[in-house]
């Protein structure tokens, strides 16, 4: 039958679609009006899902590095080599010398087995995915902040909202399914507040546009909450504490720090106070900021202690970038959680999984993806793209070069695979059965429409083979069996079965917090998130460095990603023409005119730490005083805007910095 229902493989919205199959090939994508998220619509990426499925740049055979080159090999040789190298690193240096990276774009079943392999056969808790960086590690996973990624109405909350705040997110670029709903809400008269230093295409629909100077978002968040409380007092004791903590923040100080007029802040506060179903939409534009925890602490104060579960306070909706980042986290691809967010420090959880998996679970804390690079000697990577996701690409590359063994399992020769000792060809999302869990915790069936090409195999089968060679045989008749095991061990997924999924167009919504104790989890940081204005100011600009260079996480951000690169149209739309020789910086026309700069000109950007060459593109959507750097081009800017480790969480981030701009 030509039409096979599938979730879209691209972002975290989880739109449903149909893959059109003919003569053993995936040749088209059709929309699904019955799907509760998609409603018969798709975005530019989703419409090319069939090309991601039928990717012509596929890996079809295992590859082993001999000398300088990766050369085709057979499965037995490749798997034997992987097993023997991993075992020898484990014997010589211990299990903690091995790291495992799971995948935000592979299935739950694949991720679950990988985590089981890591903790069971390999005996290491170093299991993570580089993509988890955007899921605000150190905050999202803490019990008291789990509401920040809570299940619930999800995208439908946009339809029900009486006020929508877009906090540093451009849904038109990042989550078009959400943008469609925001647009319709705006057309119905729902006020939209856009907080962004680069306005989105929805800006014209916005009732209010607040453009804070990059780096001053904490002050803005605090001031907004203060303004809201002026109109309608703090809703909870925690909020009262918050209000007290920022009592010194005056509207004048806020205006001076952020560049946002005090009137506008007041208006926004009034709207927030008078709305009864406000929704604050945010994505990695917020979570990858150094001050993310402060901002979220502030926005949470609007909602009272538990973020609005009673439905009368603003709700926070986080949309993730990947089709299964949420699922990977649910499956325990997190250094300090077992599947289902069970804490590693919890004795009974460990015992339960040890019994189910037939192997003791180490209590030694695991390293995060960014900590692993440089600390482990061997790395196993499944469908992850740290060289695309992590802020510090140069260090990551260096760390990879220092590994004594790197094995990558993926369907394409990703940038990290190019550096591997062994590459194993996996299956695409249209070639194996499994499930994805979207950002709103919607579990949907991924279906095998066509067999994997050449010698490529479904990832779960590869993991089982590998685990067997490592001394812990795994046997499943099918992915449905893997899900049955997940369901038996994870209360959140207890109701999930392939039958139940088939019976429901739109899959099943799960509650990942189900059955999880409120006990504090071990995290890589000891920091308790709390609001502080100490780090709150934007970097200082002066006559020598009058502009702020800031990373743009949204515009054309899919161009370098493996899935998008499989599509002719997406390559043309997201990364047209020849690869850019120089990073492209955007600035407003008015600012450019002041400097005598023209569109397309080569420029030099200088900061207190270094300089770079770039080509200039004029874009009036960018706020005055700001130079925008697409996040994908950050490697070129490393001298000017070096990645830094967050002092409390140790998470690597890019902070806006003061720069000057000159003609070449």
Q: Give the nearest distance from C-beta 436 to other proteins in angstroms.
A: 16
Q: List the structure tokens of 622.
A: 């960018």
Task: Report the residue number, 87 or 580, with the smaller CB distance to other proteins.
Answer: 580
Stretch that binds other proteins, among 363-371, 491-499, 538-546, 572-580 (CB under 8 A): 572-580
Task: Report the residue number, 176 or 366, with the smaller CB distance to other proteins.
Answer: 176
**Interface with other proteins, residue 569, by CB under 8 A:** yes
CA–CA gap between residue 10 and residue 324 (Å, rounded): 9
**Interface with other proteins, residue 207, by CB under 8 A:** no
3-state DSSP call for residue 128?
strand
CA–CA gap between residue 26 and residue 45 (Å, rounded): 16
Q: Which residues contact 503 (CB under 8 A, 6 or more apart)?
A: none
Task: Report the residue number, 194 or 384, with the smaller CB distance to other proteins.
Answer: 194
**Interface with other proteins, residue 31, by CB under 8 A:** yes
Count of residues in contact with other proteins, rule CB under 8 A: 48
CA–CA gap between residue 177 and residue 46 (Å, rounded): 10
Choice from 7, 14, 16, 308 touching other proteins (CB under 8 A): 16
CA–CA gap between residue 191 and residue 165 (Å, rounded): 9
CA dihedral 319, 325, 330, 336 (to 10 degrees): -110
Task: Report the residue number, 115 or 206, with the smaller CB distance to other proteins.
Answer: 206
Stretch that binds other proteins, among 18-26, 149-157, 328-336, 425-433 (CB under 8 A): 18-26
**Interface with other proteins, residue 454, by CB under 8 A:** no
Residue in this structure with the two tokens 């534009």, named with its chain if needed = 285
CA–CA gap between residue 465 and residue 72 (Å, rounded): 19
**Interface with other proteins, residue 51, by CB under 8 A:** yes
Three-state SS annotation for 396-452? HHHHHHCCCEEEEEECECCCCHHHCCEEEEECCCCCCCEEEECCCCEEEEECCCCCC
**Interface with other proteins, residue 156, by CB under 8 A:** no
Q: How far is CA 459 from the centre of its chain?
A: 21
Q: Are 487 and 496 in contact (CB under 8 A)?
A: yes
**Interface with other proteins, residue 276, by CB under 8 A:** no
CA dihedral 120, 397, 386, 659 (to 10 degrees): 150
Q: Give the nearest distance from C-beta 437 to other proteins in angstroms.
A: 18
**Interface with other proteins, residue 56, by CB under 8 A:** yes
Evaluate the CA torsion angle 431, 436, 442, 445 in order and state its sign.
Answer: positive
**Interface with other proteins, residue 621, by CB under 8 A:** no
**Interface with other proteins, residue 201, by CB under 8 A:** yes
**Interface with other proteins, residue 577, by CB under 8 A:** yes
**Interface with other proteins, residue 176, by CB under 8 A:** yes
Stretch that binds other proteins, among 32-40, 225-233, 282-290, 624-632 (CB under 8 A): 32-40
Q: Give the nearest distance from C-beta 176 to other proteins in angstroms.
A: 6
Task: Report the residue number, 571 or 595, with the smaller CB distance to other proteins.
Answer: 571
**Interface with other proteins, residue 75, by CB under 8 A:** no
Q: Give the nearest distance from C-beta 33 to other proteins in angstroms.
A: 6
Q: List the structure tokens of 539.
A: 């970097």
Burial pattern 5-38, b for ≥16 Cβ within 10 A else e, equals: bbbbbbbbbbbbbbbbbeeeebebbbbbeebbbb
Task: Report the residue number, 114 or 183, with the smaller CB distance to other proteins.
Answer: 183
Task: Report the residue number, 40 or 233, with the smaller CB distance to other proteins.
Answer: 40
In eight-state DSSP terms, residue 453 is S
Q: Give the nearest distance from C-beta 57 to other proteins in angstroms.
A: 10
Q: Give the nearest distance from C-beta 54 to other proteins in angstroms.
A: 8
Q: List the structure tokens of 553.
A: 């996480």
Task: Report the residue number, 187 or 518, with the smaller CB distance to other proteins.
Answer: 187
**Interface with other proteins, residue 2, by CB under 8 A:** yes
**Interface with other proteins, residue 35, by CB under 8 A:** yes
Task: Report the residue number, 184 or 231, with the smaller CB distance to other proteins.
Answer: 184
Q: Give the nearest distance from C-beta 499 to other proteins in angstroms.
A: 14
CB neighbourhood size of 516 (10 A): 21
**Interface with other proteins, residue 5, by CB under 8 A:** yes
Q: Give the nearest distance from C-beta 186 to other proteins in angstroms.
A: 10
Give the end-to-end CA distance of the chain in Å, rounded to a whole number: 59
Three-state SS annotation for 262-274? HHHHHHHHHHHHH
Task: Report the residue number, 117 or 172, with the smaller CB distance to other proteins.
Answer: 172
Stretch that binds other proteins, among 169-177, 208-216, 221-229, 231-239 (CB under 8 A): 169-177
**Interface with other proteins, residue 29, by CB under 8 A:** yes
Task: Report the residue number, 184 or 662, with the smaller CB distance to other proteins.
Answer: 184
Q: Which residues contact 241 (CB under 8 A, 6 or more apart)?
A: none
Distance of CA 590 to CAs 594, 596, 597, 619, 663, Å?
A: 6, 10, 10, 10, 16
Stretch that binds other proteins, among 47-55, 218-226, 277-285, 394-402 (CB under 8 A): 47-55
Q: Are 606 and 549 in contact (CB under 8 A)?
A: no
CA–CA gap between residue 421 and residue 405 (Å, rounded): 6
Task: Report the residue number, 42 or 603, with the smaller CB distance to other proteins.
Answer: 42
Q: Are 143 and 169 in contact (CB under 8 A)?
A: no
Task: Report the residue number, 51 or 141, with the smaller CB distance to other proteins.
Answer: 51
**Interface with other proteins, residue 348, by CB under 8 A:** no
Residue of 484, 413, 485, 479 whose CA lies nearest to 448: 479
**Interface with other proteins, residue 42, by CB under 8 A:** yes
Q: List the structure tokens of 637.
A: 């800017």
For the chain, give percent helix, strand, coil, nearest 5.
Answer: 35, 20, 45
Q: Give the nearest distance from C-beta 453 to other proteins in angstroms.
A: 12
Choice from 9, 11, 32, 278 touching other proteins (CB under 8 A): 32
Stretch that binds other proteins, among 45-53, 317-325, 488-496, 605-613 (CB under 8 A): 45-53
Choice from 34, 375, 519, 590 touching other proteins (CB under 8 A): 34
CB neighbourhood size of 585 (10 A): 27
Longest CA pairwise span in the chain (Å): 70
**Interface with other proteins, residue 654, by CB under 8 A:** no
Window 497 to 556, contacts with other proteins (CB under 8 A): 505-506
Strands across the sheet containing 25-31: 3-7, 16-22, 25-31
Binding site for other proteins (CB under 8 A): 1-3, 5, 16, 18, 20, 22, 27-35, 39-44, 46-47, 50-51, 54, 56, 172, 176-177, 179-180, 183-184, 187, 201, 204, 505-506, 568-569, 572-573, 576-578
């Amino acid at each position: 039958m030509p039409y096979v229902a599938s979730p879209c493989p691209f972002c975290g919205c989880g739109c449903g679609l149909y893959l059109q199959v003919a003569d053993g090939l995936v040749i088209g994508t059709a929309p699904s009006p019955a799907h509760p998220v998609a409603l018969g619509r798709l975005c530019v990426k989703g419409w090319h899902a069939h090309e991601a499925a039928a990717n012509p740049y596929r890996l079809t055979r295992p590859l082993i590095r001999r000398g300088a080159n990766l050369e085709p090999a057979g499965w037995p040789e490749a798997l034997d080599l992987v097993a023997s190298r991993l075992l020898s690193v484990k014997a010589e240096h211990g299990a903690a010398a091995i790291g495992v990276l799971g995948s935000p774009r592979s299935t739950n079943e694949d991720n679950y087995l990988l985590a089981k392999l890591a903790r069971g056969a390999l005996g290491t808790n170093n299991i993570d995915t580089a993509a988890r960086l955007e899921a605000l590690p150190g905050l999202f996973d803490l019990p008291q902040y789990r509401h920040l990624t809570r299940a619930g109405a999800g995208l439908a909350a946009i339809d029900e909202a009486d006020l929508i705040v877009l906090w540093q997110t451009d849904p038109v670029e990042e989550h078009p399914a959400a943008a469609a709903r925001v647009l319709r809400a705006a057309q119905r008269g729902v006020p939209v507040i856009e907080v962004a230093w680069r306005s989105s295409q929805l800006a014209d629909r916005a009732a209010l546009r607040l453009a804070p100077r990059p780096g001053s978002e904490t002050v803005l968040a605090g001031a907004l909450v203060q303004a809201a409380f002026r109109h309608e007092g703090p809703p909870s004791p925690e909020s009262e504490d918050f209000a007290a903590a920022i009592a010194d923040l005056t509207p004048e100080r806020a205006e001076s720090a952020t560049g946002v007029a005090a009137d506008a802040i007041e208006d926004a506060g009034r709207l927030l106070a008078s709305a009864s179903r406000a929704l604050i939409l945010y994505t990695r534009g917020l979570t990858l900021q150094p001050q993310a925890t402060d901002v979220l602490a502030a926005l949470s104060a609007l909602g009272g202690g538990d973020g609005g579960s009673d439905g009368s306070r603003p709700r926070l909706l986080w949309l993730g970038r990947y089709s299964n980042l949420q699922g990977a986290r649910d499956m325990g691809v997190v250094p300090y959680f077992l599947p289902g967010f069970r804490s590693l420090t919890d004795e009974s959880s460990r015992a339960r999984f040890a019994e189910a998996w037939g192997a003791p679970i180490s209590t030694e804390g695991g390293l995060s993806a960014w900590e692993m690079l440089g600390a482990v000697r061997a790395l196993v990577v499944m469908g992850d793209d740290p060289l695309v996701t992590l802020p510090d690409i140069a260090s990551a590359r260096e760390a990879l070069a220092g590994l004594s063994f790197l094995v990558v399992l993926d369907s394409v020769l990703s940038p990290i695979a190019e550096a591997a000792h062994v590459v194993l060809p996996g299956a695409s999302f249209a070639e194996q059965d499994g499930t994805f869990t979207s950002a709103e915790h919607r579990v949907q069936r991924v279906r095998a429409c066509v067999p994997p090409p050449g010698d490529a195999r479904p990832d779960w089968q590869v993991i089982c083979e590998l685990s067997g060679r490592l001394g812990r045989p795994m046997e499943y008749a099918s992915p449905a069996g893997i899900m049955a095991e997940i369901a038996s061990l994870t209360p959140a997924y207890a109701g999930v079965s392939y039958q139940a999924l088939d019976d429901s167009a739109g899959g099943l919504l799960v509650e990942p917090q189900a059955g999880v104790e409120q006990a504090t989890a071990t995290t890589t940081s000891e920091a308790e998130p709390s609001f502080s204005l100490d780090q709150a100011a934007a970097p200082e600009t002066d006559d020598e460095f009058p502009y702020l260079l800031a990373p743009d996480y949204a515009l054309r951000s899919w161009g370098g990603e493996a899935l998008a690169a499989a599509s002719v149209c997406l390559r043309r739309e997201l990364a047209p023409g020849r690869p850019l020789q120089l990073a492209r910086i955007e600035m407003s026309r008015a600012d450019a005119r002041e400097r005598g700069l023209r569109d397309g000109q080569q420029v030099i950007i200088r900061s207190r730490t270094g300089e770079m060459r770039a080509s200039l593109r004029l874009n009036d959507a960018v706020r005055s005083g700001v130079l925008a750097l697409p996040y994908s081009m950050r490697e070129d800017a490393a001298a000017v805007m070096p990645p830094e480790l967050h002092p409390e969480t140790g998470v690597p981030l890019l902070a806006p910095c003061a720069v000057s701009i000159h003609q070449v």
